[in-house]
Amino acid sequence: MNVRHGIVVTGGRAPEGPVSFSDRGACLVVAADSGVDTAIAKGITPDAVVGDMDSLSVTDLTERFPKATVERFDRAKDWTDTEIALEFLWKRSIREITIVGGGGGRLDHLLGILALFERDRYPRRWFTDREVVTLIDSDVSFTAAAGETLSFFPVGPDVAEMSTSGLRWPLDRFSWRHGDAGVSNECRGGACRVSMRSGRLLMVRALRSPVLLP
């Protein structure tokens, strides 16, 4: 298997519409605890299941997923199940990681996933039930409908400075630190671009269905 991408399916609300892969053989899918339920609901067969398994509605993991690696952890652990899933992928030198799930539910769980983007190693994308969050640390080009709302938040230790095109309110003159934000910007319609000169940003957009994973 020529694995290039990691997918972490975690608990919480996931996209309600169809979820598919552009190349399933290039992805290693890890279900984090109750992310197993989400994976089953979306017709995704995980390659591994990790966590303390305290939130599973499924008990026959080895029967249901006979080819999957299952790693059980004590409930009294220092990491969240999502962190364990990320570590599982990083140990296998997989750096392009997408999280699916984690929407709604407990605020501390939501903030826990958000904190993952602040670290030295971080995911690239996050699909909740309503949003897609994209980590921008270099140059990203995308298309969006006129008036589509885009919000940006600096993450990581460095000052975020960027250049943009296609946005109603350009961000070129800003130097953003923790606590700053650009909420409810809009695309002019068509091509948009965000290029980082330093630091990194999270871009939050409304989720469009269906979801195509890497």
Integer angstrom CA distances of residue 208 from 15, 128, 148, 204: 9, 11, 11, 12
- Residues 123 and 164 grouped into a single domain: no
* 204 in a structural domain: no
pTM, two decimal places: 0.94
- Residues 160 and 104 grouped into a single domain: no
For residue 166, give its domain range.
Answer: 138-198
* 161 in a structural domain: yes
- Residues 71 and 50 grouped into a single domain: yes
The 10 Å Cβ neighbour count of residue 166 is: 19
- Residues 19 and 85 grouped into a single domain: yes
Closest CA to 49 of 27, 15, 72, 79: 72
What's the rounded Cα separation, in Å, for the pair 178 and 156? 8
* 99 in a structural domain: yes
Q: Give yes or no for a contact between 136 and 193, defined as CB atoms under 8 angstroms apart.
A: no
* 203 in a structural domain: no
Q: Residue 207: its pLDDT value, please?
A: 94
CA contacts within 13 A on the Cβ side of 65: 22
* 54 in a structural domain: yes
SS3 string, 153-171, reads: EEECCCCEEEEEECECCCC
Q: Give yes or no for a contact between 193 and 141, defined as CB atoms under 8 angstroms apart.
A: yes
Number of domains in the chain: 2
Across the 214 residues of the chain, what is the mean pLDDT of every consecutive 10-residue run? 90 93 96 93 95 79 88 85 96 96 90 95 96 97 95 97 96 93 95 97 93 93
Residue 61: which CATH number?
A: 3.40.50.10240
- Residues 152 and 105 grouped into a single domain: no
- Residues 93 and 144 grouped into a single domain: no
